[in-house]
Structure 1
């Protein structure tokens, strides 16, 4: 297949679903660890088309959603300072901090700008040498390399008024934490193809073997997801637990060596807090000592941040796969995209946003049903 519409072919989708139905003999629970995959699943009703024995669990795959409240509040404090131009991707502007968001800061006079690349922020710093320019660097292994490259370029070009507020996280330690949870009921994983296109699959075999769970790397279109599920169910039914690359058109075993080298130069692995989950050891990056001068937390010495999550927000349980969004009492009532309690409702990759956008408003809407695949 070469074209996008071929990855949404209803006839191929029916055949894959038929194979899954013919293979499955008992209940299985599979987690996708990618917000883009979650949106594909909900948009196309894949979870409703699967046989009742197959449950899809939405994991902590939304980078905006897992950015901890403390870091959001630090971003708000920095963005509100005089002389600062705070740059971010647009999906961070509505993410609630303890008492406001970046839109509110902008409305109160802060210079908050939406950019489409961290290099845009670097260009703003070059054009405004009398201002401090901060870029909010969040995300998984996919967005970390361009942010690392931007810091590298800032140092190489001698642009001193640029800094990065870092909240980068790594997928394999999150899988480890999920599997070690006493409430875990995940029996297989769909791994995110874009993450593996950068990092490769070298970290996954040991996880699959130790926890005896199949890990299938897959893409983001409906047929990608169905093929990943088909392969995962096949392994589960055969009692296997290996890493299977179902996204070979984009993922190589070793990943992208140039991107990995840039990450190793600019960042170092550190413990990271995940919003709604807590601290996961070795699950993130921070700027290495060679680039510490470009660390916004270090530069602005943001301290004394006291965070408070809304008591009625259960996004942490959603991120851990313990709760479907429409099983939360606040979903669609006191928590909406216009007035979100948590990041999972406002992020373009959040599970709650997907359920709201595609009208999965009641828990009964998530029950499997017979239907025709959406092309």
Structure 2
């Protein structure tokens, strides 16, 4: 049975590739805006399988990678404070700030804990009432609902030694910026399946309607991505520009109304700074006033940092799809997963890390 299934999958992949070959008679550039797609494309060597006329480039789809240097230095400043337990997901540990990272701070005595969910962070606060537990809130709409629930739980239970430093970002505003970037030539987008499972497709339909940039919300298997490319090429062939869903087993047109309700209850849109891109209005999520007791930025009166980007690091250009990771002079020489210079090499979903691990020659 497994052999039969594998044969069926290979046949389907061959069919998709044949249709792509037939439809891609002229150049077609597609940007994926999800780090998981970036990894899947590199891991499955999809760039190498596609005809030269189909060009895949990576966008700002990894939340760790787009976190601005100033925000990194800000949370490092907080983590170094006495009586603070910093709770974070593991991919933040080695993200470099101007001088240090969380791993170095932990070696110097800071209390930094890796957690797997916001519920783990809440439990730390329950068990360490004499400490301030701060969860580093980094992520797109996919993970925000769980953070919102943790804040509502902390408020309901009166857990006053728990707080969140919100550095969350939302996808639609950066898509608009990419669509308006005169230097970026992109014909279509692979839209993020998990983000759209929360927000639905209405918030990104403007890409097709206002800018003529079709998109397909796709899953994360190789066949998902190949089918999505076929769907985008069919749109071009038929003269259409729409937002379609390939990932129907998870993403619905309306998204997840209950998850959106929690987000809107706890968070409000604010401007946010994106690494290599700059300030984008309404692209961040700030904690609403009624939850201000659990807002780490206010609770600790955190200063605003104005940090410079690391000299030579071209993460910003990678995130904007202007270069491939291999075109950065630091790539695989001075910047590796063991000694990362920029966040795109640190995160498991970073473009540079994906290229380093799976596809160093892609894009050369």
Name the TM-score, length of structure 2 as normaliser.
Answer: 0.96
Query: Distance in 2 between the 1:10 and 1:325 partners?
Result: 29
Deviation string, structure 1 residues 11-41 (Cα, Å, up to 9, x no partner): 2111110011111221010000000000000
Deviation string, structure 1 residues 122-169 (Cα, Å, up to 9, x no partner): 111011111000000111100100011100100000000000011111
Query: Distance in 2 between the 1:42 and 1:354 partners?
Result: 6
Deviation string, structure 1 residues 32-70 (Cα, Å, up to 9, x no partner): 000000000001100111111100010000011011111
Task: Please say if residues 191 and 217 of structure 2, whose CA atoms lie closer than 8 Å, have aligned partners that are also in contact.
Answer: yes
* Cross-structure match for 1:147: 147
SS of equivalent to 1:336: coil
* Cross-structure match for 1:366: 363
Query: Distance in 2 between the 1:238 and 1:186 partners?
Result: 18
Deviation string, structure 1 residues 275-308 (Cα, Å, up to 9, x no partner): 1111111112110111111111111112152412
Q: CA deviation at 1:74?
A: 1.1
Task: Please say if residues 7 and 222 of structure 1, whose CA atoms lie closer than 8 Å, have aligned partners that are also in contact.
Answer: no
Task: Please say if residues 17 and 50 of structure 2, whose CA atoms lie closer than 8 Å, have aligned partners that are also in contact.
Answer: yes
* Cross-structure match for 2:60: 60
Query: Distance in 1 between the 2:203 and 2:308 partners?
Result: 35
SS of equivalent to 1:9: helix
Q: CA deviation at 1:209?
A: 0.8
Going from structure 1 to structure 2, the CA distance change for 1:261 and 1:7 (only over 3 Å counts) comes to farther
Query: Distance in 2 between the 1:110 and 1:323 partners?
Result: 37
Deviation string, structure 1 residues 330-374 (Cα, Å, up to 9, x no partner): 10001111111110001000000001111x334xx436xxxxxxx
Query: Distance in 1 between the 2:166 and 2:269 partners?
Result: 12
Name the TM-score, length of structure 1 as normaliser.
Answer: 0.94
* Cross-structure match for 1:372: none
Task: Kindly indicate whether residue 198 of structure 2 is the aligned counterpart of residue 198 of structure 1.
Answer: yes
* Cross-structure match for 1:85: 85
Query: Distance in 2 between the 1:8 and 1:180 partners?
Result: 41
Task: Please say if residues 145 and 262 of structure 2, whose CA atoms lie closer than 8 Å, have aligned partners that are also in contact.
Answer: yes
Task: Please say if residues 71 and 305 of structure 2, whose CA atoms lie closer than 8 Å, have aligned partners that are also in contact.
Answer: no
Query: Distance in 1 between the 2:216 and 2:193 partners?
Result: 9
Structure 1 segments of 4 or more deviating over 4 A? 5-8
Task: Please say if residues 179 and 207 of structure 2, whose CA atoms lie closer than 8 Å, have aligned partners that are also in contact.
Answer: no
Deviation string, structure 1 residues 90-129 (Cα, Å, up to 9, x no partner): 0000111111100011001000000000111111101111
Task: Please say if residues 217 and 246 of structure 1, whose CA atoms lie closer than 8 Å, have aligned partners that are also in contact.
Answer: yes
Q: CA deviation at 1:6?
A: 6.6
Q: CA deviation at 1:206?
A: 2.1
Query: Distance in 2 between the 1:8 and 1:272 partners?
Result: 46
Q: CA deviation at 1:219?
A: 0.5
What value does the CA root-mean-square deviation take over the aligned residues? 1.4
Going from structure 1 to structure 2, the CA distance change for 1:252 and 1:342 (only over 3 Å counts) comes to same
* Cross-structure match for 1:118: 118
- Structure 1 gaps of 5+ residues are 368-375
Query: Distance in 1 between the 2:6 and 2:242 partners?
Result: 28
Count of residues paired in the alignment: 360
SS of equivalent to 1:197: helix
SS of equivalent to 1:113: strand
Query: Distance in 2 between the 1:284 and 1:219 partners?
Result: 25
Task: Please say if residues 25 and 237 of structure 1, whose CA atoms lie closer than 8 Å, have aligned partners that are also in contact.
Answer: no
